[in-house]
Structure 1
Amino acid sequence: MTLPDKRTTITNIALFVVMLAAITASLAIGTLQLTPTEVALALAGQADPMTDLVVNQLRLDRTLAGLLTGAALAMAGCLMQTLARNRLATPGIIGIDNAATAFAVASVVGIGVSLAPSTMALTGAAVATALAFGLAGAKGTRGYRFIVAGIGIGAIAGSATQVLLSRVAIDTANAAYPWTVGSLNARSDQSVLVLAVGLGIGYLALMGISRALNTLQFSDPVAIALGTRLRSTRVLGLGLSVLLTGLAVSVCGPVGLIALLAPELARTLCRPGKVPLTASALAGATFMVTADLLGRTLFSPLEVPVGIITAIIGSPYLLWILLRPSQRSPT
């Protein structure tokens, strides 16, 4: 485990403060407008019944789900980019999100599969990763072959999702729809709890191999000379990325651009040469909560799924990355 430098520490603190502001706004803004003081009183159990209902029963669970999913997707994206040494290698772009969604939808629409969506999403993420890794051949997660293979797998998984939805009753398809666009409305308490546990375990494991991840910015011979066990580090990192992605998708569906935007912001703010896992998690949580707040308030009483909001915001940035690729390493 490596200790954070001064710049990274300041960045993490600043991102944490911004995240708290986003949480407060999410709990305060809506059909019933509340002040930060009223939110604090409600969280402390000292508010009037109406305020307590709005904050603790209607908005808090959704906000927590946004925090957890945003942090998990951002950490998975940062990790995948580090392993592949490519800024575009995020779970959404290489098909892990779509495969996890397809498997989760399969459990929701009922095709004879009785496993929970979280279990099915993990299975789908693992299958997509294994296929992409196998099709990439000797290069593993490195190089564009891995990304191209993942894009193809994601396209197939997306088509499978549409086929599943087209073959069920309209009410069943509507129940599964939030999984296809990314929405916190599809969350279940069980999935959120499983995600919280998985995120905690994943974060601790990543902190344990943070030094090894930092060395992956160098060539393989240099990383080996620095004492890094490349194969075990990559296998563990890939497994944790699948875990975080699968559990996040089981809660919110595919919101892939969080995994692109948050690590990019974290790398811009943190010291170069380090893998900004903590900063990515904080930025991802903030992005997700803010996007969900915009989705449910901008066109109220109509609600726009969070996946659509992040796509509107993130797609231009993705195009910018493609047109002006950074000369810096993704780590």
Structure 2
Amino acid sequence: MTAAAAVARRRRYAAVTAAIVVVALGAAVVGVTTGSFQASLGDVASVFSGGADARTSVVVLGLRVPRVLAALLIGTALGLAGAVFQTLARNPLASPDIVGFTAGSATGALVGLIVVAPTASPAAGAWMGGLLTVAVVMLIARSVGVSRERTILAGIALSMLLAAVNDYLLTRAPIEIARNADQWLHGSLAATSMDDVVLLIASIGILSLVLVLRCRDLRALELGDDTARSLGVRTPRVRLVLLVVAALLTGTATAVSGPIGFIALAAPQLARRLFGTSGIPLLGSALTGATVLVIADVVAQRALAPLQIPVGLLTGVVGGAYLFWIVARSRR
């Protein structure tokens, strides 16, 4: 690559990053200020300065700000998880919601809520469910001969099985718990709080640091296992670490919002096209995932107002259309 091409690529990266951040901030402002209760930017500023009335403070600081922040953070986590999966598998269909890790995290959270402790946080169960799903998928793939295609097929099969398990758990739960869990399974940000935001910040911050430290190894694995080994990468260990990090990112997001499809699937591919990189950019995937989810949540809240639909239903519809587009594009 010539020096001029490198400069042009850096400029494009910076310009696209700035544009995505502006769009995300714009969607966040819309999410905080609009709705059945209108709040101007001045009202929002007065909330943070302590000069707003009680109603405005409750709506803005108690409901809308946590929801917007959670959407940005969950989108970041899913974008990063999808980028790791697709880079390791070198397949645009490799994402947590396709290969079963999202369903596994949901199963773990449901077991925690319904069987273990109904009043406890579902985070621990979601993390354990995601990690166990990683282990099961890898064992299945190894038993039939390790390949990227077999790993994805094993994950899809396990995802279908876990979906049935989730439905069974709902039938055995008390009515009130089952009703809340059913809404959670559709992927909703309506009940998020600042405690959830703190959990997301802490978890995603630690896991992102691990990805930064392993970024060079991830880029090497993108070139293939043989090339990575020639560069000194311990491929089995690094691959396992990266899969665990991606599973924990998925579990963290699922614990707060429930399973939300499409984001982890599409964000890495959208980022690759927007940023014009040969591989999948981690930062670009995180920013794209955050922006897509916060926009989707605003649309889910406002499109059929006063009725609000779970954001997971909206992203699921868009994700189905995206998969059809991939199939049509692959035939061409």
- Give the alignment's TM-score, normalised by structure 1: 0.90
Structure 1 residues 232 and 111: CA distance shift in structure 2, 3 A: closer
1: CA distance, partners of 2:98 / 2:68: 25
Kindly report the root-mean-square deviation, in angstroms, between the aligned alpha carbons of the 2 structures.
2.4
Partner of 1:226: 231
Task: State which drifts further: 128-137 or 180-189.
Answer: 180-189
Of 252, 256, 261, which residue of structure 1 is paired with 2:266?
261
Partners of 1:142 and 1:216 in 2: how far apart? Answer: 14
**SS where residue 216 of structure 1 aligns?**
helix
The superposition leaves residues 76-125 of structure 1 with CA deviations (integer Å, 9 ceiling, x where unpaired) of 01111111111101000001111111121122223578863100001110
Provide, for residues 266-318 of structure 1, a one-character-per-residue CA deviation record: whole Å limited to 9, x for no partner: 11112323431111111111111111111122222221001001112221012
Between the aligned partners of 2:80 and 2:196, the Cα distance in structure 1 is 18
Structure 1 position 83 matched with structure 2 position 88: yes
Q: Which amino acid aligns with 1:167?
A: R
Q: How does 1:204-283 map to 2 (within 5 A)?
A: 204-283=209-288
My pick for the range that moved more, 279-288 or 211-220, is: 211-220
Percent identity of equivalent pairs: 37
Residues 1-331 of structure 1 aligned to structure 2 (within 5 Å): 5-110=10-115, 116-137=121-142, 142-187=147-192, 189-325=194-330
Count of aligned positions: 324
State whether residues 178 and 185 of structure 1, in contact with CA within 8 Å, keep that contact through their aligned partners in structure 2: no
CA contact 1:214–1:273 (8 Å) conserved in 2: no
In the TM superposition, what is the alpha-carbon distance from 1:46 to its structure 2 partner? 4.1
Structure 1 stretches of 5 or more lacking a match?
none
Q: Are 1:184 and 1:252, in contact at CA under 8 Å, matched by a contact in 2?
A: yes
Q: In structure 1, what is the Cα distance between the partners aligned to 2:132 and 2:170?
A: 21
Aligned in 2, Cα 1:140/1:193: closer, same or farther, shift over 3 Å? farther
1:140–1:204 CA distance, 2 compared to 1 (3 A): farther
Q: Scaled by the length of structure 2, what TM-score is found?
A: 0.90
Q: Distance in 1 between matches of 2:86 and 2:300?
A: 28
**Aligned counterparts of 2:19 and 2:254: Cα–Cα separation in 1:** 28
Partner Cα separation in structure 1 for residue 234 and residue 117 of structure 2? 42
Q: Runs of 4 or more off by more than 4 Å in structure 1?
A: 111-115, 138-142, 188-191
For the structure 1 residues 61 and 171, does the alpha-carbon distance in structure 2 shift closer, same or farther, using more than 3 Å as the test? same
Unpaired segments of 5 or more residues in structure 2? 1-8
